[in-house]
Every structure is written in structure tokens, then in C-alpha cells.
Amino acid sequence: PKAKGLKDYYQKYFPIGVAVAVRNLQGDEAQLIKKQFNSITAENAMKMASIQPKEGLFYWKDADSIVSFAQKNGIKVRGHNLCWHEQTPDWFFKDNEGKQVTKAVLLQRLKTHITAVVSRYKGKIYAWDVVNEAVDDDPNGYLRNSKWYQICGEDFISKAFEYAHEADPDVKLFYNDYNTERPEKWEQIYKLLKSLKDKGVPIDGVGLQAHWSVVEPTEAELRSAIERYSSLGLKIQFTELDISIYPWEKIKRARKPGESDAFTPELEKAQMEKYAMVFKVFRAYKNVITNVTFWNISDRYSWLDNYPVAGRKNYPLLFDHHLQPKKAYWEVINFKK
Ligand code: G3I
């Protein structure tokens, strides 16, 4: 019989996904993806800057490769993302003379973009992150003061969902954000989601990015986040899971002189316990959780290696540099099936 992977152990729970670039779709990484995962997300290839770098100039090659790899191998695709304040080319916000465009023009450009992307992958992508990270990090704030917000006010959010829904009425539509279980941010995210639901916006769920660390979130924080968001009638997907070996405070600053970035046995244990806890909670809420996706494949490469300072190694995933399962992996699959 074929050796089992994460997707097989979790067959009765939810699809298990991974974020990829085109370069990962060959060699040993492709083998690992096929064995372990049954959902994929493009790490960058479907973002606005990748797809439409200039107005009307659509670049589909990388996104198409990822979708066709998935189709060939019976893997589902999560789309990421249709509207964000990062990785959005400046032309969206400017006219020919370099002046800021009006709300009407910007919404028209948003509609053109979303319609093109969602229609192209209709029936091939099963869920889209429609709007990404629109909530402010300031606990006293609400929506992020992005170009989208400055020009359109909050309307760009509901419009983005409407455009996506028109282009593919069957695809599941998500609002996606980070720090969704942190006390300083969850209320604002809940407020936004509730207002979308109250207005009748076609939203199916919320993506909790899950860029966590060995010290966060706590089990209580995670459970209450799931309960609060699902109380709105929304499905939940964990869209960008990784467990950094550095607590958030430490990751935000450069390494101090003499400070090690080694993956010590203590950190390995702490990470293993955190992974075991979060998957135990995920399994307990399988009725509302419809996907769990890892952000990158293995410790060979993680976006966290370069965030926020280039070159500091991190070890946030379930597979090591040689693509071998780490201790945390065995914890994640070690439950009564
Ligand atoms: O494509 C250029 C390349 O031409 C250039 O030579 C190179 C030099 O810096 O940069 C390349 O672009 C980089 C791009 O990734 C593709 O590799 C950007 O600099 C880099 O900033 C970009 O980072 C991505 C980041 O989103 C952008 O903010 C990460 O790979 C990606 O993992 C990360 O993903 C985000 C999710 O979309 C949303 N949630 C948070 C998550 C982590 O930040």
C-alpha cells in the first residue's frame, strides 16, 4: 500500500494545504507535495502585482502552472488573493498624469481585475481570499489606512466580494487576516465580519492566517477565536500556518549580538507541543474548519527566514531541510483516527 501522508490521516477532517511557488513543482518537493497535501495555494503568483503588473497586461503563466499541477494530481486550489494593500502595483491608484484616481475609477479597476482572475479559474479554484488584511493593527483603530481605504472608504471590501461572487457564484469567498486570535485585533476583525454579514455581502468564511510561534496562541485564545468567528455563521480556514521558533517580540527586531538562531532541543519540544495542541483543537472543531494550509513546504525555505531581517534562519514547518518529517509531524498525525 502507498505510504500515508498528512492528507490521508486528516481525510475525515479537512483538506491539508501548502503554499507553493512554481519552482517547488518539480523534484523532491513535488514528490512531498503529492504525498502529503491535497490543497495548494500560490505563495505569490496570484497576487495583483504578479497577475496584472501593468493595466490590461495579464501574466498568467505561473498561476496557470500551479493550477494545472494541482489538477493533474487531484489537489484542490485555494486562491490568494484578490485585493490587498501589499503587492499591488501603483498604477491601480493613479491616472496617466500620476494623479490619484477617483473612487469610481478604482472600483472599476478592482472589478476588471477580480472578474478576469476569478473567471479564468472558475471551477478550478474552490475558495478565494477576496480581501486580505484590511483591518488595522492599532487596537484603537478599525480599518487599515491603505490606498484602497483612502480612496474608497470601506466600500472596496463589500464590492470585492460582490465582484468575485458575480464572476463565480459557486466559489467560496473568504476574508483573510493575521493576529486574528490576539486580544488587540480580534474585536475589530469580528466587527468587520459582522458588518459584512449584516449587509448581506456574499462571504462564506474567514481565513485565520495562523502565523504563530512557540508561545502563541494559547489554547484558550485559539478556541475562543474559532467560537466567535463561527458564531457569525462563517466557515473557518487556517490559511498560512507556521510556528516560528521566535516569539513575536523577538522576530520583530534584529538579532542581538551573540544571540543564537539554532533550533535547540528545547525549541523543538516547544514547537512540537504547540503543533500538537493546535491540531487537537482543529480536530475538535472539524465541523466549522474547512481547510488547514501551511505557509511553505519545509524548513529548507520559509518566508520567515527573511522576515523582518534577511538571513535569520527559522524552522517553522513540519519537514526539515532534507524534507524529512520532524518530531512535530509525528505529533500531528498521532491521534485516534
Ligand atoms: O519577484 C521579486 C524578484 O524579482 C526580486 O529579485 C526579489 C528581490 O527581493 O524580490 C522578488 O519579490 C519578492 C516576492 O516575495 C517573490 O519572491 C518580494 O521581494 C517579497 O517581498 C515577497 O514576499 C512575499 C510577501 O508575502 C510579500 O509581502 C512572501 O514571499 C510571501 O510569503 C508573503 O506572504 C504573505 C501572504 O501573502 C499574506 N499574509 C502574510 C504572508 C507572509 O508575509
pLDDT tens digit sequence for 20-48:
999 999 999 999 999 999 999 999 999 99
- Say if residue 83's pLDDT is above 80: yes
CA-nearest residue for atom 29, ligand 1, is 303
* Strand partners for 205: 174, 235
Q: How much of the chain is helix, strand and coil, in % rounded to 5? A: 40, 20, 40
Question: Residues with Cβ < 8 Å from 76, sequence gap 6 or more?
Answer: 15, 17, 38, 39, 40, 70, 126
- Amino acid identity of residue 56, one-letter, is G
Residue 303 CA, closest ligand 1 atom number: 32
Whether ligand 1 lies within 6 angstroms of the CB of 306 is answered as no
Query: 92-119: per-residue pLDDT in tens?
Result: 999 999 999 999 999 999 999 999 999 9
Specify the 3-state DSSP secondary structure of 56.
coil
Q: Is the CB of 108 under 6 A from ligand 1?
A: no
Across the range 252-275, mean pLDDT stands at 86
What pLDDT is attached to residue 249? 67
Atom of ligand 1 nearest to the CA of 295: 32
CA distance 165 to 196: 14
Q: How many angstroms separate the alpha carbon of residue 130 from the centre of ligand 1? A: 18
Choosing from 43, 133, 181, 240, the catalytic residue is: 240
Q: To test ligand 1's pocket by mutation, which of 18, 44, 129, 130 has the most ligand atoms within 8 angstroms of CB?
A: 44
226-244 average pLDDT score: 98
Q: How far away, in angstroms, is 303 Cα from ligand 1 center?
A: 8
pTM for this entry: 0.96
Report the distance separating Cα 45 and Cα 66, nearest Å. Answer: 9
* pLDDT tens digit sequence for 136-178: 999 999 999 999 999 999 999 999 999 999 999 999 999 999 9
**What confidence score (pLDDT) does residue 308 get?**
75
Q: Report pLDDT for 256.
A: 75
Q: Give pLDDT, residue 101.
A: 98
- For residues 57 and 13, the answer to whether their CB atoms sit within 8 Å is no
Write down the pLDDT at residue 246. 85
pLDDT for 252 equals 66
ipTM over the 0.90 cut-off: yes
pLDDT at 267 over 80: yes
Cα 43 to ligand 1 centroid, rounded to whole Å: 8
- Ligand 1 atom closest to residue 19's alpha carbon, by position in its atom list: 32
Q: Please give the pLDDT value at position 311.
A: 73
- Mean pLDDT (the chain) is 95
Residues of the chain with pLDDT > 70, as a percent, come to: 98
Place of cell 485565520: 208
C-alpha cell of residue 61: 503563466
Residue 240 appears among annotated catalytic residues: yes
Inter-residue contact 207 to 129 (CB < 8 Å): yes
Ligand 1 neighbourhood includes 195 CB (under 6 angstroms)? no
CA of 292 to the centre of ligand 1 (A): 21
Backbone angles phi, psi at 82, to 5 degrees: -95, -25
Q: Report the pLDDT value the prediction gives residue 239, as an integer from 0 to 100.
A: 99
Give the pLDDT confidence score for residue 250 in this predicted structure: 67
Helices (H), 238-337: 248-251, 265-284, 327-333
The C-alpha R_g of the chain, in whole angstroms, comes to 20
Confidence of residue 251 (pLDDT cuts 50, 70, 90): low
- The helix (H) or strand (E) run that includes residue 107 is helix 103-120
Instruction: Using the structure block, give the residue that is written with the C-alpha cell 513543482.
Output: 25
Q: Which residues contact 266 (CB under 8 A, 6 or more apart)?
A: none
* Average confidence (pLDDT) over 221-242: 98
pLDDT of residue 248 exceeding 90: no
Mutate to test the pocket of ligand 1, among 22, 24, 41, 43 (most ligand atoms within 8 A of CB): 43
pLDDT of residue 1: 62
3-state secondary structure (DSSP) of residue 69? helix
- Of 78, 317, 138, the closest CA to residue 212 belongs to 317
Ligand 1 atom nearest to 178, measured from its CA? 39
Ligand 1 nearest atom to the CA of residue 209, by list position = 39
288 Cα: distance to centroid of ligand 1 (angstroms): 30
Distance of CA 296 from the midpoint of ligand 1 (Å): 12
